[in-house]
C-alpha cells in the first residue's frame, strides 16, 4: 500500500519521473498488474476528472492493452498511462461533487423524485401526475431554463464546481451561462 500511495501521490503532483520509479518498484515486487490498472482508472477519474476527459480513456485502454498483451509486454501500456496521468492537468471537482451528493443522500435520506421527472409509461402514472410539467430540453435549444431537477429540499444545491484547469475551464464557462439563465442552478 505504501508503494501505491507513493505512485498515486507522484502522479497527483505531476512528477512522471517519480511515477515511473514507483511503478517499476511495484512491478519488481510482484504487485498484481490488474491492481495497478484498476488504480490508474480510479486516479483518472478522481484526480484528473474533467480537466482532461481523455485521461479515463487512456486508463481504460491501458487496462485493456495489458489484458491482451499479458506479461511482460503489458506493463508498457501501464507505464505509458502512468506518465500521461502524471503529466496531464488535474481536477478533483467531479470526485468532490459526488462525495458531497453522497453526504446529502446520507443526511436527507431518499428524497422523492419531483413529479415532473417521474416516468409516466402508463395511464395510471399519468393520472397520478407523473411527468406533468416536464419540459424537453431538446425542444428548447438543449436547455430548459428554470426547470428543477433536484428534490425540493435541495433546490439550488451545487455539487459540481469545475476548476480553472484544462477542459474544465470550458465546462465552467458553459455552466456559468446556463446557471445565469436560471436553469442549471435548479438542478446542478
Length of the chain: 188
pLDDT at residue number 140? 83
List per-block mean pLDDT (blocks of 10 residues) for the chain, which spans 188 residues.
94 95 96 97 97 98 97 96 97 96 96 92 92 88 81 92 95 89 48
pLDDT at residue number 182? 56
Burial of residue 17 (CB within 10 Å: 0-12, 13-18, 19+) is exposed
All three cell numbers of 82: 502512468
pLDDT at residue number 185? 42
What count of other Cβ atoms lies within 10 Å of the Cβ of residue 50? 22
pLDDT at residue number 183? 52
- For the chain, the first-to-last Cα distance in angstroms comes to 36
Distance CA 36, CA 63 (A): 9
What is the reported pTM? Answer: 0.84
Amino acid at each position: 500500500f505504501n508503494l501505491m500511495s507513493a505512485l498515486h501521490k507522484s502522479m497527483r503532483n505531476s512528477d512522471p519521473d517519480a511515477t515511473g520509479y514507483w511503478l517499476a518498484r511495484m512491478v519488481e515486487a510482484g504487485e498484481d498488474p490488474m491492481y495497478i490498472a484498476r488504480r490508474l482508472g480510479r486516479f483518472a477519474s478522481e484526480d484528473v476528472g474533467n480537466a482532461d476527459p481523455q485521461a479515463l480513456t487512456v486508463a481504460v485502454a491501458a487496462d485493456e492493452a495489458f489484458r491482451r498483451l499479458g506479461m511482460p509486454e503489458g506493463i508498457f501500456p501501464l507505464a505509458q498511462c502512468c506518465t500521461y496521468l502524471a503529466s496531464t492537468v488535474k481536477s478533483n471537482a467531479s470526485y468532490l461533487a459526488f462525495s458531497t451528493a453522497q453526504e446529502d443522500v446520507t443526511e436527507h435520506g431518499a428524497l422523492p423524485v419531483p413529479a415532473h421527472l417521474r416516468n409516466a409509461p402508463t395511464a395510471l402514472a399519468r393520472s397520478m401526475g407523473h411527468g406533468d410539467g416536464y419540459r424537453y430540453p431538446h425542444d428548447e435549444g438543449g436547455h430548459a431554463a428554470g426547470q428543477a431537477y433536484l428534490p425540493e429540499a435541495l433546490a439550488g444545491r451545487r455539487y459540481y464546481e469545475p476548476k480553472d484547469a484544462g477542459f474544465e475551464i470550458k465546462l465552467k464557462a458553459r455552466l456559468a451561462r446556463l446557471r445565469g439563465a436560471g436553469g442549471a442552478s435548479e438542478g446542478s
